[in-house]
Structure 1
Amino acid sequence: MREIVTLQLGNLSNYVATHFWNTQESYFTYSEDEKSLVDHNIHWRAGIGEDGSDTFLPRAVVYDLKGAFGPLRKVNPMYDVAPGQDVALASLWPGKPAVHKQNPLSSIDYQRDLDAGVKPGKLKASDIRYWSDYSRVYHHPKSLVQLYDFELNSSIMPFERFEMGTELFESLEKENEMVDRDWRPFVEECDQMQGVQVYTTLDDAWGGFASSYLEALRDEHPKTCIWVWGLQSPVATIAREKRRLRLANTAMSLNQACAQASMVVPLGLPDSRIPSGIAVDSSSAWNVSALLATATETASLQSRLRLDGSSQHLGMADMAQCLNVSGRQTLANMRMAVGPQAELDSDEPPELDLSQIGSSKDGVKTGSSSNRAFGRL
């Protein structure tokens, strides 16, 4: 079925991937007369819920830190067991268990409307606290992996250095065989996996975590196409020392990712020369991730189109091969045009260059990467 399994590493990655999954959900058709152009079996997996009903959920493994999932429950209603109905659990302990519960975070109105089957209102940037606030899809309980070693936005022990990510991966892999536990079940249920799609940040500790994870994946799948969307957080308002740290993290992450992946596409919001037709709030992860997700979804659309009798499938490996013309160029430049080009002012760039690494404050020139030997999306 040409399946693609998605690996999501880190908070910004999950913001971007949530937009991606919402878009995939929007492609579903519910009329017998309407046929979707997208083959949903590529990114979605069929299953059976706790009540015996059919489920259709993302082929994804989602990692984030403690506190990053917000009000999202690990076990969604499709797989929830009603109190007193778990016979296997009850047989382990004849006594009455004592239950201690922490008050859950409240959902925003948008999620409550979705749960009630009511058309939700329009979201604003100020409504969003977590990436789960605007998610329109359920995930399988095995998809969601919360890492309790670090806490989101911690001021005491921030998860911000490349080495911290590699050390965390090595620790979890040694203690829990994490890749076998989390990743392998989704791969084993594929008939003919065409590739792996990875969303990860490059400029913090998740870059180190991703580097180690990619090495493990390459050992497991030596001939499989691994496509990496390497994300960078906006840096315009960050202090100079922090920008330097992020730039060092990005350099190490790119070096390791390019050695293991079939194609790496660095993505970040440029801090200058954004076309006037694009309105984006760089302080809103929801806003920034929507723009980056638009680029990733559009660029990879060909890999999930439904085949008809006359068309030939262009998969992830074919796309990577088209970009990697010499066999050694595994780094691609991403540019995107939004809206009618005729509406742009004459002095504005015709395309938005999303491949800027670092900040223009540190001497980085937007678009300079296009002068190098990269493939271009």
Structure 2
Amino acid sequence: MREVISISASHRANHVLTQFYNGQEQLLQATNNVNEPGVFLNPVVDRISKTVSYSPRALLWDARNGVGSLGLHEYETGHDYYFDPDRKPEEATQKGVQVIQTHQRIPKSEYQTAIDSNGRLPELTDANTKYWSDYTKLVFGSSNLSSLKDWYHNVEDPSLPDFQDQNQAYFNNYEVGYNEFKSNYSTEFLDEKFHWQLESCDGLQGINLVSELDNGWGGFSSSLLLEVRDELPKTDIITWGFNKDDALTLQKPVRSSKTNFDLICNKIRSTISLVRDSELFFPLYSNPQQSLWQSAGAATLLFDAVNSVSSNRVPEDRVLFGQIVAMLTQGETRQNVVSQLEADNIDFSFYSRIPKVKTTGEKVFNKLVISRDSTSVVKEPWMLKSYEWQPSDTIPMDYRANTKYTTNLAVTEQPRDVFKSWFDLVSRYFRYDSDREELKEELGTLASEYEHGWYDDDESGDDC
């Protein structure tokens, strides 16, 4: 078995993995056995009852309280903890246990209550999916979950945890996030959570890392990835990074009140780090018009399609992470930013929102097409086919109507425009930053990797 471990860092990223693993649970119920469940799920055999249970090969990071009503040990046996959703802390009956309530209890969602009681599942909406745990189907236990110690979930802005729940400092800086993981979690995470997942694998084929780039989670995931890369220098890692609109996409002055200068600073530093330590980097767009539940449901169209080929039960259609990397880079390891990201005719790429320097004749270095129609005929070496999508009922209706869609991935010259624009921003506005020259050198090198043909650089020097 060639397994895949998925790591998410941020509340938004956890919604994506929740939707993906709900889909894996859906495939367990299927009668046609289209995939190998052990690639993404860890099977545990109970020899007494002769049954098999599955747990996700996943590691989710969130702020404190970000798991919602889910108790870390809710579905585990043992008596070294206190958990009773229907009993008040002061009514604890276990002897020798002192219960300290640190925050108001978050009530269990109607959806989770229905699952636990085998009742009728309610319709999901933006209102009842505020937390990813509100609608998760597979059990994420203590071995899957990690929380920040001093940063609390911010209901008003889930991407920016609140320090000590004081409404004074937020998780909105690359350096803060980077140092948070490096100083407080690195050893514990690797020795306990990560190694436990590795030991459950027979032969790891790759890792998905899903995060956000505009805030402290970008620095956090950069530091995490650096440690993972040191542990597994030859493992293929695909990084999925969510980006919010900024001065470039909004075409507003950098110092405008409508743009956040710190946001783009975080994005630049996070992208450089994650591109450097990943085999493939997917820059995703965070649509502000969608809830996290809707956004994750849409993103699963892309995420599930890319991952489906690596667990395909049909041997001749199975394509591992390393082969996907090879098809999209053709050995050019520095050309690893996949700027075209389309699934079911939806454009998920953040880079496509940034104005182009060349409006015609964009160079496509390498491309990959994944058809989810198993009856399709592969006519080109860059075409793959996978099994028909079987979406979970937790996916918003708009994104589960078409189960035979096509996914288009491509490495184009568009990253050149992005990195060149960022180079100009660093040159103009990073006057006193200690890493200014290092960032300029990195961005200049990255931009050159995607250059093709002739450019009028005067156009990219305008103040945006």
Counterpart CA distance in 2 for 1:183 and 1:372 is 39
For 1:295, the aligned partner's letter is L
Change beyond 3 A, Cα 1:374–1:264: farther
Q: How does 1:106-121 map to 2 (within 5 A)?
A: 106-121=107-122
The CA deviation at 1:124 is 1.0
Match of 1:292 in 2: 299
Match of 1:262 in 2: 279
Question: Is the aligned partner of 1:35 residue 2:36?
Answer: no
Match of 2:443 in 1: none
For 1:189, the aligned partner's letter is S
Change beyond 3 A, Cα 1:352–1:163: same
Normalising by structure 1, report the TM-score: 0.80
The CA deviation at 1:69 is 0.8
Question: Is the aligned partner of 1:171 residue 2:188?
Answer: no
Q: How does 1:174-253 map to 2 (within 5 A)?
A: 176-233=187-244, 240=257, 243-253=260-270
Match of 1:302 in 2: 309
- Give the percent of matched residue pairs that are identical in Structure 1 and Structure 2: 23
Out of 316, 319, 327, the position equivalent to 1:314 is 319
CA contact (8 A) 2:243 2:350 kept: no
Counterpart CA distance in 2 for 1:265 and 1:76 is 34
RMSD of aligned Cα (Å):
3.1
The CA deviation at 1:25 is 1.1
The CA deviation at 1:319 is 0.5
SS of the counterpart of 1:258? helix
Change beyond 3 A, Cα 1:55–1:96: same
Out of 58, 63, 73, the position equivalent to 1:65 is 63
CA contact (8 A) 1:162 1:207 kept: yes
The CA deviation at 1:357 is 4.6
SS of the counterpart of 1:203? coil
Deviations 1:152-175 (A, max 9, x none): 22231211111111110111146x
Out of 327, 332, 338, the position equivalent to 2:333 is 327
Counterpart CA distance in 1 for 2:114 and 2:238 is 35
Structure 2: segments with no counterpart, 5+ residues: 83-93, 155-161, 368-408, 410-464
The CA deviation at 1:149 is 1.8
Change beyond 3 A, Cα 1:83–1:337: closer
Match of 2:99 in 1: 100
Counterpart CA distance in 1 for 2:175 and 2:365 is 27
Task: Give the structure, 1 or 2, with the largest relative contact order (CA under 8 Å, sep 6 or more).
Answer: 1
Out of 171, 178, 187, the position equivalent to 1:159 is 171
Match of 1:275 in 2: none
CA contact (8 A) 1:76 1:138 kept: no
Counterpart CA distance in 2 for 1:225 and 1:131 is 27
Answer with 1 or 2: which has the greater Rg. Answer: 2
Deviations 1:292-331 (A, max 9, x none): 12211122211111134xx153101110111112232111
For 1:314, the aligned partner's letter is V
Match of 1:365 in 2: 355
Counterpart CA distance in 1 for 2:141 and 2:45 is 10
* Farther off after superposition, 261-270 or 63-72: 261-270
Counterpart CA distance in 2 for 1:289 and 1:249 is 22
Change beyond 3 A, Cα 1:252–1:373: farther
SS of the counterpart of 1:194? strand
Normalising by structure 2, report the TM-score: 0.65
The CA deviation at 1:223 is 0.9
Change beyond 3 A, Cα 1:329–1:83: closer
CA contact (8 A) 1:12 1:233 kept: no
Change beyond 3 A, Cα 1:371–1:159: farther
CA contact (8 A) 1:74 1:141 kept: yes
Deviations 1:10-40 (A, max 9, x none): 111001111111111111136xxx2311110
Change beyond 3 A, Cα 1:367–1:284: farther
Counterpart CA distance in 2 for 1:229 and 1:258 is 10
Match of 1:91 in 2: none
Counterpart CA distance in 1 for 2:341 and 2:267 is 19
SS of the counterpart of 2:28? coil
Match of 1:345 in 2: none
Counterpart CA distance in 2 for 1:21 and 1:14 is 11
Counterpart CA distance in 1 for 2:57 and 2:329 is 27
SS of the counterpart of 2:146? strand
Counterpart CA distance in 2 for 1:21 and 1:234 is 28
CA contact (8 A) 1:6 1:61 kept: yes
SS of the counterpart of 1:22? helix
Structure 1: segments with no counterpart, 5+ residues: 86-94, 271-280, 339-350
Change beyond 3 A, Cα 1:106–1:319: same
For 1:99, the aligned partner's letter is Q
